[in-house]
């Protein structure tokens, strides 16, 4: 009875989870604001967009008020007015929900163990974030906070940031409930993981500060996908994208000589290639592992069936031989 009394009602549980969603969105938004390059609130990497798309996938669309409240609290300090902030929060909520509805309609699964799931996630990142970027930038222009000539550069930065947030954060959040710490890991395996981290950081720094070393990140992504599957590949992708966007914001490396819109196009192209490579390749490796496991299980079942049938077949052969041996003796006599 005491345990039953302590249990929360469904409404209280919903409120607590919605508040947790708000806190996660707000925290992710504060991280993204650190890289803001337009009006101190539009960032080329917006992790909150990844959180917003992962929430309906993991918890269901009924927790959308948590996303809306988190977006409202994140943007309210930057204005320019409450009405504009409400429209921006609506776009930040509506875009992920539309992407979620379309992806579910087309058969998306949270396991990300099929190539179509990876393709749908990329399409959702492009389509859903375009809705929020267009709506948010449009209301800023209509309110006078931005000039008409600033619409496309600002919308591009907004869309780039949201799309990168989805490509880098959402897959990791979808994998988090199924993550388990490995047991009995050898020192060689730990050494390989440490080497991957060092090489990943080194190549990410080189790719973001020099114009001729961009290709070095891809062998590391292949290594991570083949040896550490989705977790390793996606973490490497997040590392590379983070360093690249940091360099673009600071005007370092190959991005310093371009205007804002051109700079964001270069960053979008490179980071999208990195994220797509990590996601698709790791998904293909996981799909191969699953097919191998299914073939192995089928082979074991066939082997067990043969082992069960073989003794019976041997006994039947022996009985048949015993029945035929007296007949042969009579014929011989």
Can you give the chain as a three-state secondary structure string? Answer: CHHHHHCCCHHHHHHHHHHHHHHHHHHHHHHHHCCCCECCCECCCCHHHHHHHHHHHHCCHHHHHHHHHHHHHHHCCCCCCHHHHHHHHHHHHHHHHHHHHHHHHCCCCCCCCCHHHHHHHHHHHHHHHHHHHHHHHHHHHHHCCCCHHHHHHHHHHHHHHHHHHHHHHHHHHHHHHHCCCCCCCCHHHHHHHHHHHHHHHHHHHHHHHCCCCHHHHHHHHHHHHHHHHHHHHHHHHHHHHHHHHHHHHHCCHHHCCCCHHHHHHHHHHHHHHHHHHHHHHHHHHHHHHHHHHHHHHHHHHHHHHHHHHHHHHHHHHHHHHHHHHHHHHHHHC
One domain, residues 163 and 50? yes
333 falls within a domain: no
Q: Specify the pTM.
A: 0.81
232 falls within a domain: yes
117 falls within a domain: yes
One domain, residues 120 and 70? yes
State the pLDDT at residue 6: 54
Domain boundary, last residue among 178, 211, 232 = 178
Domain around 304:
186-319
Domain tally for the chain? Answer: 2
More confident residue, 142 or 316: 142
Domain boundary, last residue among 147, 178, 209 = 178
State the pLDDT at residue 249: 73
One domain, residues 126 and 27? yes
Domain boundary, last residue among 178, 197, 226 = 178
332 falls within a domain: no
1 falls within a domain: no
325 falls within a domain: no
304 falls within a domain: yes
Q: What is the average pLDDT across 271-291?
A: 86
In this predicted structure, the answer to whether residue 65 has a pLDDT above a threshold of 80 is: yes
């Amino acid at each position: 009875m005491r345990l039953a009394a302590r249990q929360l009602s469904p409404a209280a549980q919903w409120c607590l989870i919605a508040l947790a969603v708000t806190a996660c969105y707000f925290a992710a938004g504060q991280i993204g604001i650190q890289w803001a390059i337009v009006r101190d609130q539009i960032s080329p990497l917006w992790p909150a967009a990844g959180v917003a798309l992962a929430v309906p996938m993991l918890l269901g669309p009924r927790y959308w008020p948590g996303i809306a409240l988190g977006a409202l609290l994140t943007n309210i300090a930057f204005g320019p007015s409450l009405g504009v902030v409400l429209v921006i929060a609506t776009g930040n909520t509506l875009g992920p929900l539309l992407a979620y509805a379309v992806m579910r309609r087309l058969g998306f699964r949270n396991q990300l163990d099929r190539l179509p799931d990876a393709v749908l996630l990329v399409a959702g990142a492009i389509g859903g974030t375009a809705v929020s970027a267009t709506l948010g930038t449009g209301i800023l222009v209509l309110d006078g906070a931005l000039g008409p000539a600033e619409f496309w550069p600002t919308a591009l930065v907004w869309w780039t940031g949201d799309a990168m947030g989805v490509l880098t954060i959402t897959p990791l959040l979808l994998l988090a409930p199924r993550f388990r710490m490995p047991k009995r890991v050898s020192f060689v395996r730990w050494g390989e993981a440490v080497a991957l981290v060092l090489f990943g950081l080194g190549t990410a720094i080189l790719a973001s500060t020099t114009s001729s070393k961009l290709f070095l990140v891809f062998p590391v992504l292949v290594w991570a996908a083949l040896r550490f599957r989705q977790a390793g590949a996606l973490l490497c992708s997040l590392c590379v994208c983070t360093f690249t966007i940091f360099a673009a914001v600071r005007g370092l490396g190959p991005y310093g000589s371009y205007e804002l819109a051109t700079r964001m196009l270069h960053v979008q192209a490179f980071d999208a290639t990195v994220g797509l490579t990590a996601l698709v390749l790791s998904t293909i490796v996981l799909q191969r592992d699953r097919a191998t496991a299914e073939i192995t299980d089928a082979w074991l079942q066939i082997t067990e069936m043969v082992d069960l049938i073989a003794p019976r077949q041997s006994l039947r052969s022996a009985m048949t031989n015993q029945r035929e041996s007296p007949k042969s003796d009579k014929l011989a006599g």
